[in-house]
Amino acid sequence: MQNSKITMKELLYKMVCYQELYPNVHLFEKTDLNQMNFNFLSSTIEAFRLKKDCTKLEYCKDKLYHVISKYYVVDQKEYVMEIICCLDEQLELSRQENSNLILKYLGKHDDFYLDVLTGAYNRRFYEEKIKHQTTPAGIVMLDVDDFKIYNDTFGHDFGDRVLKMIVEHIKNSLRNQDKLIRYGGDEFIIYLPNIEKEDLYLIMQNILKNIHHATIKGYESVQFSMSAGITMYQTGTIEEAVSLADHLLYHAKRKKNCIFTELDHQYYSDRNDTKQTILIVDDSELNRAILYEILKDDFYLLEATNGQECIDYIKQYGSGISLILLDIIMPEIDGFDVLQWMEQEKWLDDIPVILISSEDSANIINKGFVMGASDYIKRPFDYRIVYRRVYNIIKLYAKQKRLMDLLKKQVEKN
């Protein structure tokens, strides 16, 4: 299926554009098939069946029609826009009329490639115009840090204002030949043909700096930032370069407000972030060693051999600990005892706990969740599962903390 997911607002805008060019434009939902009473059913049914655009020449009452059936998905509902043009043999256009028609069409065609909200290019533009380019270029994937928090806290209208503001700042920093594409949601691609790596870095540094210092009227206390993954496209495909940039963006977002490249671990950051600290609590030296190997490259690690050492570390480091990997079964003070103490001392609101154990009893797992654990990992350890769950829990708690800070600042301001 071709990529045809858009919003209803975008779909209706497209329909208006087509109606300026063609006399008969109709929009059908798939559920309307049984009630349809028109002569060009075959093309539309084909579009629904194949889930892609279809075009046909069809006869009706001794006249030849060009029928274009365009397939779309809006909010998980399928639609086909039917565009009908009668090819009348008597129709003749002068050279000037033909030129005017072509210019008008090209103007409307350009509108199809623009994002309605922000004015950046849209995903269709990437798929049809950029993805198959072969010119050497800089490729940037970037998105807005904590955008969901802005939407959830201040509403979607505020989120729209953020996106418009960000697009304006990015465009002001780009060259005329560069293309800014809204890839989806708050995620953007920048395509910069024939650019040197050093110039690309300077442009991106300027973009991140300007956005980090930008404000929106009425919300001056809210600070914005973006993270970016950068690669230089030379060989292969643009799609492969975008995939690499997306991978680098994933690493950048763990730090926030920074740029990651395939050569430089971290080329630029507007603030001094440090690694998060994880406390590994397990009486087995082997289990601690396995977890240490999985996490050592991206986190500071503390190790405790029993529940009492865990409690002592919490008293010493407090909320400086980003997450605890806690074995359930240990001598003297076990994992459940540690959870009970953390609940009494109000630490579970600040420090998430992932339980680790060879036990897979539903009762034991449920007891851990009831006592305040955030997740559960069963031994033997799977590298990908451990890393992903640790990262996700830390990210979730960090977002919650930033949300509370945003709300606190807004309340203090009002």
pLDDT surpassing 60 at residue 272: no
Kindly state whether residue 2 falls inside one of the protein's structural domains: no
User: What are the CB-based long-range contacts (under 8 Å, 24+) for 396-402?
Assistant: 396/352, 397/322, 397/323, 397/350, 397/352, 398/322, 399/146, 399/148, 399/149, 402/146, 402/149
Q: Are residues 165 and 226 in the same domain?
A: yes
Kindly state whether residue 287 falls inside one of the protein's structural domains: yes
pLDDT surpassing 90 at residue 404: no
Tens-place pLDDT, residues 166-209: 999 999 999 999 999 999 889 999 999 999 988 999 999 999 99
Give me the CATH number covering residue 57: 3.30.450
Domain count, the chain: 3
Tens-place pLDDT, residues 28-80: 887 776 555 444 556 788 888 888 888 877 666 656 678 888 999 988 888 99
Residue, of 232 and 275, whose pLDDT is higher: 232
Give me the CATH number covering residue 364: 3.40.50.2300
Give, in order, the Cα–Cα distances in Å from 37 to each of 28, 34, 71: 12, 9, 19
pLDDT at 36 (0 to 100):
54
Q: Are residues 127 and 265 in the same domain?
A: yes
Parent domain of 312: 277-410
Tens-place pLDDT, residues 308-355: 999 999 988 888 899 999 999 998 899 999 999 999 998 998 899 999
pLDDT at 311 (0 to 100):
93
Identify the band that residue 9 occupies on the pLDDT scale cut at 50, 70 and 90. confident
Q: Are residues 281 and 239 in the same domain?
A: no
Where a domain ends, among 111, 135, 163?
111
**Other CB atoms closer than 10 Å to residue 217's CB: what's the count?**
6
3-state secondary structure 220-245: CCCCCCEEEEEEEECCCCHHHHHHHH
Kindly state whether residue 118 falls inside one of the protein's structural domains: no
Q: Are residues 283 and 392 in the same domain?
A: yes
Q: Are residues 251 and 133 in the same domain?
A: yes
pLDDT at 265 (0 to 100):
46
Where a domain ends, among 219, 252, 269?
269
Q: Are residues 103 and 173 in the same domain?
A: no
